[in-house]
Structure 1
Amino acid sequence: MNEAASSADTVAAPRPVAGEGETGGVDYSDPDVTLGAHEDRWAWRARLRRHPATHLAWRSAVGVVGSVVTVGGLIMVPAPGPGWAVVILGLVILASEFEFAQRWLDFVKGYVHRWNRWVMTQPLWLRCAIGFAALLLVWGALWLTFVLFGLPGWTPDWAAQQLARLPGLD
């Protein structure tokens, strides 16, 4: 294999932004809304990006799937469950192709990292109180969901009998 062919399959990683530190973010100084072939770490995806037709098809597929997952997660946020995790998964999918989503994902990761760092510096009693408050929030969301929509049909009889003792769930 000649040197030109081997260098075509080698792709440079995105340049870290100065001052990003532990996140090692992407350089957003270019005006493109999508990542270019030279910014892709995976050779197979970089080959897709070199051809306009395959790049458009790939970009469209990633955009549709990422948008559906993100919107589905946003719909799930008020209900108990992994709503925010699904939103972040949708951003991860979109960020694999679109720079705007990569910026949003970096923003979210920065806030989650700062929140985590702050919580871990607090005394144990406060960390336990935060965990208990989160548990109460999930329980309250479950209760409100059951009051508004009733118990799901797949709820086992023993669980339905216990849940029926809660106020508002007769």
Structure 2
Amino acid sequence: MHRNPHTSAVYRTLVGGLGTAVVLLGLVLVPLPGPGWLIVFCGVAIIASEFHFASRLLHWGRLRLEAWSRWVRRSHWSIGALLGLATCACVCGAVWLSLHLTGVPGWTPGWARQLLLLP
């Protein structure tokens, strides 16, 4: 495929476009509950299969993730607990905000609406 310059250019363009679309989707999903950053890294990995700059970026990201993981493992258990609570609070806040902005589904029981302080 890479022997033919036209085919190689088309392939690289498709890979770059697909990877960019996946990265953009992941960035949109970052503030929402779910695997936003994982999707961003998957998009960078797609781009890295054909582009050297993305390969370097992916390597840098892996090093940062490993350093973060080592730091969390070496720290006191309370740091891990605080990180878990902060993550839970962010997810709960994002769910509450999305329900507040989009409305609560009709099948939701009344007590759940009252619990979430939603109309």
TM-score by length of 2: 0.88
3-state SS in 1 of match to 2:2:
helix
Matches within 5 A, 1:62-77: 62-77=15-30
The structure 2 residue matched to 1:164, chosen from 86, 90, 113, is: 113
Matches within 5 A, 1:107-126: 107-126=60-79
1:77-97 CA deviation, whole Å, 9 max, x = no partner? 122211111111110100111
- 1-structure distance, mates of 2:81, 2:75: 10
Unmatched runs of 5 consecutive residues or more in structure 1: 1-47
The structure with the largest helix share of the pair is 2
- 1-structure distance, mates of 2:5, 2:31: 40
- Report the equivalent of 1:131: 84
Matched-pair identity in %: 37
- Report the equivalent of 1:98: 51
Give 1:69 deviation, angstroms: 0.6
Q: How many residues are matched?
A: 117
1:22-59 CA deviation, whole Å, 9 max, x = no partner? xxxxxxxxxxxxxxxxxxxxxxxxxx222212211210
Q: Structure 1 segments of 4 or more deviating over 3 A?
A: none
Larger Rg: 1
- Report the equivalent of 1:78: 31
AA in 1 matched with 2:61: V
- 2-structure distance, mates of 1:100, 1:70: 15
Instruction: Tell me if 1:142 matches 2:91.
Output: no
* Distance 1:93-1:163 versus aligned 2 partners, 3 A rule: farther
Give 1:130 deviation, angstroms: 1.2
- 1-structure distance, mates of 2:17, 2:112: 39
Higher relative contact order (CA 8 A, sep 6+): 2
AA in 2 matched with 1:57: V
Unmatched runs of 5 consecutive residues or more in structure 2: none
- Report the equivalent of 2:8: 55
RMSD: 1.6
